[in-house]
Structures are given as structure tokens and as C-alpha cells.
Amino acid sequence: MTLAKTIDRVCKGAFSDEVPFSGYVPPPALIPDPAHKSSGLLFISFVTARSPQTGKTAIFRPSAVLRLNGKGKLVAFRNYREAGDQFPSLRWSKPLAMWPHPAVAGMTVKAYTEKRDALLEMYEAELPRFPASRALSPGFAESWRLIAHPVVLPFLKELAPHFYKAVSAPVAKAA
Amino acid sequence: MEQGEGGGAPPAMDYASFESYLDNFDTQSDLFDAYADLMQSYDPSAMSWGEQLALFDPDFAQMVLEASYDSPAMPGTENIWADMDFNADPWVLPPEQALYQAEMQVDFAPYLDAMQPDATAAVTADNSLADALSHWNQQDHPYSCAVATTEMILDGYGLDFSESDIAQVFQDAGIYDPQQGTAPTEIDETLNALFEHQGIGLEARELDNWQVSDLQELLDKGVRPLIALDAAETWPGSETSTLNEFMGIPDSGHAVQLIAIEDGPDGQVAVLNDPAAPEGKGMRVPMDTFLDACDDFGNLAIAVEQKAAGGEA
């Protein structure tokens, strides 16, 4: 299985029978692993719920985090409902945001999935570069910022500070 | 990044400002609590989302609406929170342990015995397409696709379980949560426990990494399996409808019933009973699209078959 396909399946909750990991799972953050000259991937699973009447989806706080190594193998999993909640003061019952975020709300479903798939294909090339450079290619960073719901950002600031800084770097403007 | 309707590039993102803004809060939960309170009190009929955010904090409005987002418009005018009670118990999700580590110790008697006295009657299957279409049923709840699909499957065998009956069985087995959906790989065990308890001559089994020939073999026997897939890829409106119009997050899993594989002028098509959409009865999807959507979930299917005389399905 390619790395992009593995990421796709994790984000879609395809492994949620093995680990309780579903809901809204944005594209993962990179975690530098200098010892292996590669990067791991950090996924955050957000609780979601839909309004029975309107079908609109609300995004709640994270319920779990999961890490894969650069080969796409599961190396760590933390279920915040059981232990090790890194955001203990966040209530489970309060929505933090609503899907979709405005940057993609007007996009067709097909256009969104194509852009998302293209982003996932970029991870393979970013993994080996990130530990040394702590930087992301402009195309990857721009694509990630478009596809990922902004609700993930404050959590990444805590959980993946290097990635947060890299993805937040000002976009270089053409002269 | 796409451009706004007004032409010209959208404002550049300024995450450094956003980061420094977050630093103004003592803890992250201070920000989230304030933001959640804001969302809860938001009344779209009174003011725009931007105006509401500006009341909350002009700096936040500036950064979140104009910098982080391309389009500041908050779509729709309905108050989607009107029907929600944020302090009600259903919003407190059950422990994961209870949900996913299902123990097959369900007491079916309290509701099933009263519900279906004829469940032990001989089960029959009609493998015509017309019969399959007649069992289509739109799901009752946003995350009950697997429950509704199971209801269609059992209905095809003449077993008149309602969707709420099956939802109760799945909830008692710990595999279904109305807020999160169903753990598909536990469906076969749960159904087999139900069949055994009720003396129903059926058996459920899970297929992983199926091939099209496996599905065709089932269909030839009149067995119409539950299929796990990515609904965004099979939804007919995906090319024209926006994310704002799509029910749910496209990357979420979905369950449908496969009722036929047909040869069409442009190649094979999968015929589905999709419980999510009003037009989901007999929905035809090009086979390539169907296979891509299924591959995302490891080609997982649940087949319910009649037990042979010797006890094997």
C-alpha cells in the first residue's frame, strides 16, 4: 500500500475497528525524526456530530491521536477518553467549529476530493526533507492550509510545533 | 488556492499573527470555550457570522475570517443549532471501551421476543432486481447507514425488523453509536448472535479484500451484501454540488447494499441501494468508481446467507 493510500485510510477511519479513530481526521502533521532521517505522521481524530434536522456537521474536541512512522506503520496511539488527555480542560460536549470551513465550502465535492488526494500524494516527498530543513515545500503548505480545517491549528501548535511553524510560514510572494 | 468571487487574490494567510493571538490566552481552553460560547449563541437571522465574530473579538474576526479563510461568507441562513441541547446527555459520548470492545452478551429478549414472533418462519430470498429495489429504505438518522442497510438485507429475507429494532440490537452489542456510526467488522458477530437467539436460519460473514467475482457469486445466489465505501466518490452530485450541500464530511465511511452488477453501454455498473440519499434506490455507479470507493475501506463486505441443511452457510 502506498503512503498516500495509508494516510487516506487512516483519515477515513478505515482502521477504526483496530483503534477507535474516526470522526473528522484532517491530513496529518509531520513529526521530524532526525535519528532515522525521516518523519513520522501525527493524526488527530476530532469528534463529530450531525444535526438530525439539517445534516450539518459540527466538529468537537479531539478524541485521540495516532502516529505512524515514515513507512506508514502504527507506532503510537493515545485515546484521550481513556488516559493521557493533553487537553483535559476542553469539554467534550461543546462544538468548536462547523464543517465545512469557508475556504472549501463552495468547492464541489469532486474538486475537494481531487485536491485532497493530490495533497496526500505529496507527503512521500516531504517526509525525508522535513527533519533537516524543518520546512515544507510551498505547494504542500498551501495545499495543506486549504484542505485542513483551521480548527486543527491550535492543537498542532501544542502537538506538532515544528510542523505548525512550518505550515504557518508566510507564503513567499512573487515579485 | 482558489480566488474569491470579487476577483483578485484573497488576502495572504498570516499565521504568525494567529499564533501570537493565541498566546494572548492563558490556556487553549479559554479560547475554545469563548469560541464555543460564541457559536452557541450565534443567530444567523440577526447578523452575519463576520459581524458576530467581530463582536466577540475584532482581531479574531480579522484573522480568522479575512486571513485564514478565503471566503468570509457563512453559508446558509438557518440556525443549525436550534434543535440542539448542548447540555443534554446524548452529547456526552460513551466511553470508547464500551463502544468498540463489544462483548456478545446482549439480552435480546426484552424487545425481540415481543417484536417478531414469526422470525423463525422459513426465510426466503428472491434475487430479482425488482425485489431488491422494493426493500430500499432511507436511513432514519445521520449515522445509521449500516443499520439501515442491515434492515434492507433482513427485509429481503422476509424478516420485518425495523431500523430502530436493529439500531437497538447494535447499540446493545456496543457496535453502534448514533453519534459516531457502526463498527462494520462487528456486524457479522452481532447478527449471528441475533440469528441464533431467534432461531433464524441465516448466517452473516465478513468478506475482506473481496474481488468482483466474489460479489458476483453472492449476487447469483440472491445474496445482496453490505458494502463499506467512501460515499463522496459514488454520490451522483459530487461533480456539481458543493461541500456545503454535501451531507457530512466526504472522507467519512458509508454503508450501502450492493443489489446487482450490470453490463451497460459504457461498461459494468454496480447497482446500489444507498440508504443516505432520497435518490439512493437502485443507484447506478460505474464499476471503476465503485471499486475506488470500496478500496478506501479495504474491500469490506458483510454477506448474510441462508444456512445450509448441515448448518453451514
For A147-165, how does the pLDDT look when each residue is reduced to its tens digit (9 = 90+)? 998 888 888 888 888 898 8
Note whether A138 contacts B: Cβ–Cβ < 8 A.
no
Q: What per-residue confidence (pLDDT) applies to A51? A: 59
Identify which has the larger pLDDT, B221 or B71.
B221
What is the tens place of the pLDDT at every residue in B188-208? 999 998 888 888 889 999 998
Q: What is the mean pLDDT of residues B144-173?
A: 90
Q: Are A77 and A19 in contact (CB under 8 A)?
A: yes
Note whether A169 contacts B: Cβ–Cβ < 8 A.
yes
Identify which has the larger pLDDT, B69 or B245.
B245
Q: What per-residue confidence (pLDDT) applies to B53? A: 53
Contact residues on chain A for B229, CB-CB shorter than 8 A: none
Q: What per-residue confidence (pLDDT) applies to B99? A: 32
Q: Are B140 and B149 in contact (CB under 8 A)?
A: no
What is the tens place of the pLDDT at every residue in B75-128? 222 222 233 333 333 223 333 333 333 334 455 555 454 444 344 444 555 678
Q: What is the mean pLDDT of residues A67-72?
A: 82
Give the best-scoring range by mean pLDDT among B1-5, B179-183, B210-214, B251-255: B210-214
Note whether B55 contacts A: Cβ–Cβ < 8 A.
no
B58 confidence band (pLDDT: 50, 70, 90): low
Residue of B32, B92, B242 with shortest CB distance to A108: B242
Nearest-CA distance B108 → chain A (Å): 24
Nearest-CA distance A18 → chain B (Å): 9
Contact residues on chain B for A94, CB-CB shorter than 8 A: 32-33, 36, 40, 86
Cβ contact, residue pair B296, A57, below 8 Å: no
Compute chain A's Rg from CA coordinates.
Answer: 16
Chain mean pLDDT for chain A:
83
Q: How many C-beta atoms lie closer than 10 Å to residue A137's C-beta?
A: 15
- For the record, the C-alpha cell of A70 comes out as 515514515
Q: Rounded distance, CA B149 to CA B163, Å?
A: 9
Cβ contact, residue pair A113, B69, below 8 Å: no
B212 confidence band (pLDDT: 50, 70, 90): very high
Q: Mutate one of B80, B189, B240, B294 to test the A interface: name it (highest A CB count within 10 A).
A: B80
Identify which has the larger pLDDT, B115 or B302.
B302
Judge whether residue B68 has pLDDT over 50.
no
3-state SS track over A91-107: CCCCCCEEECCHHHHCC
Cβ contact, residue pair A94, B247, below 8 Å: no
Residue of A87, A142, A170 with shortest CB distance to B28: A87
Identify which has the larger pLDDT, A139 or A103.
A139
B281 confidence band (pLDDT: 50, 70, 90): very high
Q: What per-residue confidence (pLDDT) applies to B103? A: 39
Question: What are the beta bridge partners of residue B284?
Answer: B271
Q: What per-residue confidence (pLDDT) applies to B188? A: 92
Cβ contact, residue pair B29, A49, below 8 Å: no
| CB-count burial class (<10 Å; 0-12, 13-18, 19+) for B282 | middle
Cβ contact, residue pair A89, B29, below 8 Å: yes
Residue of A22, A56, A92 with shortest CB distance to B92: A92
Helix (H, G, I), strand (E, B) or coil at B237: helix
Chain mean pLDDT for chain B:
69
- Among B86, B255, B250, B64, smallest CA distance to A60 is for B86
Q: Rounded distance, CA A112 to CA B271, Å?
A: 25
Look up cell 456526552; give the residue: B92
Judge whether residue B142 has pLDDT over 90.
no
Q: Rounded distance, CA A146 to CA B143, Å?
A: 27
Note whether A48 contacts B: Cβ–Cβ < 8 A.
yes
Contact residues on chain A for B181, CB-CB shorter than 8 A: 22
A57 confidence band (pLDDT: 50, 70, 90): confident
DSSP state of B62: I
Contact residues on chain B for A171, CB-CB shorter than 8 A: 12-13
Contacts 24+ apart (CB under 8 A), B170-175: B170/B146, B172/B106, B172/B107, B172/B108, B173/B102, B173/B104, B173/B106, B174/B98, B174/B99, B174/B100, B174/B101, B174/B102, B174/B103, B175/B99, B175/B100, B175/B102
What is the tens place of the pLDDT at every residue in A78-129? 888 777 778 877 777 677 778 888 888 889 999 999 999 999 999 999 999 9
